[in-house]
Amino acid sequence: MKYLFFDLEYATSKGGNIKICEFGYVVTDENFQILDRDNFIINPNIMRCEWDWRVVRTILTRRISEYEENPEFDYYYDEIVKLIKEADYVFGHSINGDAKALNCDCQRYGLPSIDFKFYDIKEFYKQYNSSKNDTSVVNILNDLEIEGEEGEHDAEVDAVNTMYEFKVMLQRLEMTAQELIDICPSVVDYNENFVVQSLEIARMIKEENMEKNLTGEGSNLMKRNSKQYKTFLQFLDNVLPTTDEEKTLDGLKFSISINYEELHYRQMLNIVQMLCNKGATYVMKASLCDVFVTYKVLNEDGTERTCSKSKYVNKAVEEGANIKIVSFDEFVGMLGLTEQELDELPMVSFDCLYREDAIIKDPKAKKHFSRKNTASEPVAVPNEKILH
- Taking the alpha carbons at both ends of the chain, their separation in whole angstroms is 12
- Share above pLDDT 70 across residues of the chain, in percent, rounded to a whole number: 94
Per-residue pLDDT band for 206 (boundaries 50, 70, 90) equals: confident
- Average confidence (pLDDT) over 283-299: 95
Confidence grade of residue 377 (pLDDT, cut at 50, 70, 90): very low
What element of type H or E holds 90?
Answer: strand 89-92
Average pLDDT over residues 84-105: 97
Looking at this protein, which amino acid is placed at residue 222?
M
Average pLDDT over residues 306-332: 95
Give whole-number Cα distances, 255 to 228, 232, 313, 335, in Å: 18, 14, 10, 14
The domain locations on the chain are 3-193, 215-369
- Can you identify the CATH homologous superfamily of domain 3-193? Ribonuclease H-like superfamily/Ribonuclease H (3.30.420.10)
Q: Which of these ranges, 31-35, 140-144, 192-196, 363-367, has the smallest mean pLDDT?
A: 363-367
Angle at 152 between CA 148 and CA 158, to 5 degrees: 65
CA distance 297 to 150: 57
Q: pLDDT confidence of 373, banded at 50, 70, 90?
A: very low
Q: What is the pLDDT of residue 381?
A: 42
Banded pLDDT at 215 (limits 50, 70, 90): confident
Q: How far is CA 190 from the centre of its chain?
A: 20
Distance from chain centroid for Cα 324? 41
Instruction: Give the residues across from 10 on adjacent strands.
Output: 20
| Least confident among 66-80, 208-222, 243-257, 372-386 | 372-386
| Model confidence pLDDT, tens digit, residues 42-64 | 999 999 999 999 999 999 999 99
Residue 61 burial by CB count (10 A; 0-12/13-18/19+): exposed, middle or buried? middle
Asked whether the predicted pLDDT for residue 380 surpasses 50, the reply is no
Burial class (CB in 10 A: 0-12, 13-18, 19+), 58: exposed
CA-angle at 336, arms to 211 and 233, nearest 5°: 35
What average pLDDT score do residues 354-379 get? Answer: 64
In the chain, what percentage of residues exceed pLDDT 90?
Answer: 79
Segment 271-287 mean pLDDT: 97
- Other residues' Cβ atoms within 10 Å of the Cβ of residue 361: 10
pLDDT at 359: 83
Average confidence (pLDDT) over 260-275: 96
SS3 191: strand
Residue 85 has pLDDT above 90, yes or no: yes
